[in-house]
Structure 1
Amino acid sequence: MFAAPTACYRSAAVPTGVLLTLLLMISVAPVEAADPPPLTHRFKPIDEPIPAPPLRLPAVDGVVYDLAELQGRVVLVNFWATWCPPCRQEMPSMERLHRQLESRGLTILAVDVGEDADTVVAFTNQLEPAPTFPLLLDPDSRATQEWRVKGLPTSFVVDTEGKLVMRAEGGTEFDEPELIERLRTYLPTP
């Protein structure tokens, strides 16, 4: 039986062509129908918050977003890719979280790793609900490396002072009530 992974990893030691060939072989191999594993809400606090690395990237619409300009807001930074099953699975819950907490001061920046705008838009247009938060492009994976992302999806919470306060590796159910309550503790009080 085939079980979908909870995180996607890409090793720098394996050539991209080999990875794509393996991915194609897996995707066309006959498998039993199986539900993907449930997403979690495994955000863990960072014991000693540190300043977030720089993040300045264009979105699929060409607008450039700079994390430094968002100081004073809580920012959820999610690194993902369209080829990653748990990344695909968590995207609708991220939009639901965005709709719930944007007015309270939460900004979501979803950083696509290694793909172009057409690929990202084609995928996200199929989602229900479709994302309304910025979809940033990191085509050369430079930001991904600066943020020390080891696998996809990986998410971080940056507090109002620009410090990393929480991290999650693997697929996350972003609109889980427990996670929403934890995020509210970082948001400015209304």
Structure 2
Amino acid sequence: MLLIAGGSLIAGAIGRKPAFAEDDAANGTPVAPDRLTAHPPKPMPALSFADAGGAVHTLADYVGKPVILHLWATWCPPCVTELPTLARLAPQLERDGVVVLAVSLDRSGAAKVAPFLARIGVTTLPPYYDPTAATAKALDEEALPVTVLIDRQGREVARRSGPVLWEAPGAEEALRRLLG
């Protein structure tokens, strides 16, 4: 788990229940996408993050396309386990017009994340960075990984604080259903 204190991420335990509904969430057990719970669409906060070249992107840049926003870090064991499986699913989702944004919250940004992705063989996800963790703060999230499903209108329709089994049977179909 992690805490956000004074704008920085620090390792530690948090004293409140994570912000997701699955029974497995409390113990960090990964869930399949078909177990993600949709909720009525709600507005997303303004979010920004940088790409490998330092160009700033905003979530608003992707309105019109369904988006999977995935927050992770190299120092987060569940993130490290989960990210390669999301990377393997991403090309199929992208063929259907779904944008997969994997945003690292590592403070060192590209200097640390790019070599890490190369080392674990993740080549299908363009790296994005938010070394200030402003995205996690804006989403009121304190734990990683976090996945937010965003519809074509730029509204949140589902969220998972904790790992997802991206390679579970029916994952792609469940995500298409959730994203509309």
TM-score w.r.t. length of structure 1: 0.75
Match of 1:89 in 2: 81
| Residue in structure 2 matched with residue 123 of structure 1 by the alignment | 116
Whether contact under 8 Å (2:74, 2:106) holds in the other structure is no
> Structure 1, unaligned stretches of length 5 or more?
1-8, 21-36
Counterpart among 57, 60, 66 of residue 52 in structure 2:
60
* Separation in 1, partners of 2:90, 2:151: 16
- 140-149 vs 80-89, which deviates more? 140-149
Identify the residue that residue 92 of structure 2 maps to in structure 1: 100
Query: Which of the pair has more CA radius of gyration?
Result: 1
Contact kept? 2:157, 2:178, Cα under 8 Å: no
Q: After TM superposition, give the deviation of residue 170 of structure 1 in Å.
A: 1.3
Shift of 1:142: 1.4
2:2 match: secondary structure: coil
Identity %: 30
Change (3 A) 1:19 1:159: closer
Q: Deviations over 1:61-85 (max 9, x none)?
A: 3233221121111100011100000
- Deviation of 1:186 (Å): 5.0
User: 1:7-62 CA deviation, whole Å, 9 max, x = no partner?
Assistant: xx112469x8x859xxxxxxxxxxxxxxxx97432553342220122122111232
- TM-score, normalisation: structure 2: 0.78
Q: Which residue of 2 aligns with 1:40?
A: 31
RMSD: 2.6
Give ranges in structure 2 of 5+ residues lacking alignment: 13-27
- 1:126 partner SS: helix
Give the paired residue count: 162
Q: Secondary structure at the match of 1:125?
A: helix
What are the Cα deviations for residues 107-162 of structure 1, in whole angstroms up to 9, with x where unaligned?
A: 1111111422111012101123x232232211111121001112000111001111
Aligned to 1:184: 176
Query: For the Cα contact (< 8 Å) 2:3–2:11, is it kept in 1?
Result: no
More divergent stretch after superposition (101-110 vs 172-181):
172-181
Post-superposition offset of 1:86: 0.5
Partners of 2:106 and 2:113 within 8 A in 1? no
Which moves more between the two structures, 149-158 or 108-117? Answer: 108-117
For 1:14-33, list aligned pairs within 5 A.
19=11
Tell me: CA distance 1:44–1:96, structure 2 relative to 1, closer, same or farther (3 Å). Answer: same
Conserved 8 A contact 1:157-1:164: yes
| In structure 1, C-alpha distance between the alignment counterparts of 2:153 and 2:50, rounded to whole Å | 23
Give the one of 137, 152, 157 matched to 1:160.
152
| Whole-angstrom distance in 1 between the partners of 2:167 and 2:11 | 32
